[in-house]
Amino acid sequence: MKKTLLIIIIAAYSLSVFSQVKIPVATKSQINKFLNNKTYVVLKNDRLSDYNDAIEEAFNKHWTLTEYEFIYESDFKSMKNDADKSFVMINLIYFEKDKTQTLFDFIVATNGGNFRTVDDMPTICAVPLCYHGALESDYAYKIPLMIKFIQNHITTCRENPLLNEDNIADYYMDKSGSLKKKTLYLLKEEVEPEVRTKNSFATAYPYNFDYTTRENIKDIIDNNTKNAVILHLITPKMNNTLTYCIKIIIDTENGTIYYWDKHKLGKKSGDYLLKSDLKKLAKKE
């Protein structure tokens, strides 16, 4: 899982509505190995971690791919070289061309084996969670959705062997289709101030949406609510030198991606979902 190469890279196409997203795709043998192994979910050594509580609850409610067991980071060190074990864990990742090498926390699925370092272990799936150092309360309620995406991604790659890092983003975007029949749930404070009123929001985005709470979003995810999508916004809360805002729109029932983009922060583009994002979503077919 090389931090400089594994990365989910977002590189803008000129004149393209959506940015290119390079999502890791494992080989057939790596996927089969993951599915045949027992999955060890690596918890933080901090026994009071909100992350630990959230991922335990998420696996117990939603994980169906493999047999699983919870371990701690201290256990992982002695188990990672076992080829009959697979893992779901947090890994630090940065964008390949980012000169600041800003670190993000990704939830990754990987296989154990005789690898020199953790970074050399194969990436079965990787999904961005937050900037490294973000408050756990900012993202813990969305962890069940990340687990749904991981399952969906692994299943998709297994059933579609022709997918690779160059075409899987287009596959996801084409498969997800329009948002006309979906309701977009999001936090009001995560939207650009210019379009925070419901009337101004509706001028850019003509479909159903609702400003809601973290608690309600968690319920929507946990209940596998149909025809619902949420905003997963990754913003620099702890360090104002961080320069990117990542925006993902994802289906709460099965983890299907509808939109994935990033923008550089500046005077005219803060750490929000922008009006321009809403216009792109409205055009999505």
Average pLDDT, the chain: 87
At 60, which CATH number?
A: 3.40.50
What's the confidence (pLDDT) of residue 132?
Answer: 87
In a domain, 39, yes or no: yes
In the chain, the percentage of residues whose pLDDT exceeds 90 is 66
- Predicted confidence (pLDDT) per residue in 141-197, tens digit: 999 999 999 999 999 999 999 999 889 888 888 889 899 999 999 999 999 999 999
Would you place residue 14 in the very low, low, confident or very high pLDDT band (cuts 50, 70, 90)? very low
For residues 37 and 105, membership in a common domain is answered with: yes
* pTM summary value: 0.87
Q: Tokens for 96?
A: 């390949």
Higher-confidence position of 17 and 188: 188
d(CA 125, CA 89): 11
Among 126, 159, 192, give the residue marking a domain's end. Answer: 159
For residues 136 and 221, membership in a common domain is answered with: no
What's the confidence (pLDDT) of residue 103?
Answer: 82
Beta-carbon contacts of residue 254 (< 8 Å; ≥ 6 apart): 148, 152, 224
For residues 133 and 228, membership in a common domain is answered with: no
Number of folded domains in the chain?
2
For residues 189 and 119, membership in a common domain is answered with: no
Q: For residue 208, what are the CA distances in angstroms to 53, 192, 274, 282? A: 32, 18, 17, 11
Tell me what percent of the chain is helix, strand and coil, each rounded to the nearest 5. 35, 25, 40
Among 134, 159, 184, give the residue marking a domain's end. Answer: 159
In a domain, 165, yes or no: no
Higher-confidence position of 12 and 43: 43
Among 159, 187, 209, give the residue marking a domain's end. Answer: 159
d(CA 39, CA 283): 40
Question: Do residues 112 and 79 make contact, with C-beta atoms less than 8 angstroms apart?
Answer: yes
Q: Tokens for 273?
A: 């979902």
For residues 155 and 180, membership in a common domain is answered with: no
For residues 110 and 149, membership in a common domain is answered with: yes
For residues 101 and 181, membership in a common domain is answered with: no
For residue 208, how many other CB atoms are within 10 A of its CB? 15
For residues 89 and 192, membership in a common domain is answered with: no
- What is the rounded average pLDDT of the residues 39-50? 95
In a domain, 270, yes or no: yes
- At residue 229, φ and ψ (nearest 5 deg) are -130, 155
Residue 146 burial (C-beta neighbours within 10 Å; 0-12, 13-18, 19+): buried
Give the DSSP H/E element, type plus range, for residue 72.
strand 68-72
- What is the rounded average pLDDT of the residues 253-274? 88
Beta bridge partners, 234, equal 246
In a domain, 225, yes or no: yes
Residue 28 burial (C-beta neighbours within 10 Å; 0-12, 13-18, 19+): exposed
Which SS3 state, helix, strand or coil, does residue 27 take?
Answer: coil
In a domain, 164, yes or no: no
In a domain, 269, yes or no: yes
Structural domain harbouring 253: 176-283
For residues 45 and 131, membership in a common domain is answered with: yes
- Predicted confidence (pLDDT) per residue in 92-135, tens digit: 887 666 666 778 899 999 999 999 888 889 999 999 999 888 89
Higher-confidence position of 14 and 203: 203
Q: For residue 55, what are the CA distances in angstroms to 42, 76, 184, 277? A: 9, 16, 24, 30
For residues 51 and 190, membership in a common domain is answered with: no
For residues 148 and 54, membership in a common domain is answered with: yes
In a domain, 167, yes or no: no
In a domain, 3, yes or no: no
For residues 155 and 205, membership in a common domain is answered with: no
Is residue 265 predicted with pLDDT exceeding 70? yes
What's the confidence (pLDDT) of residue 21?
Answer: 44
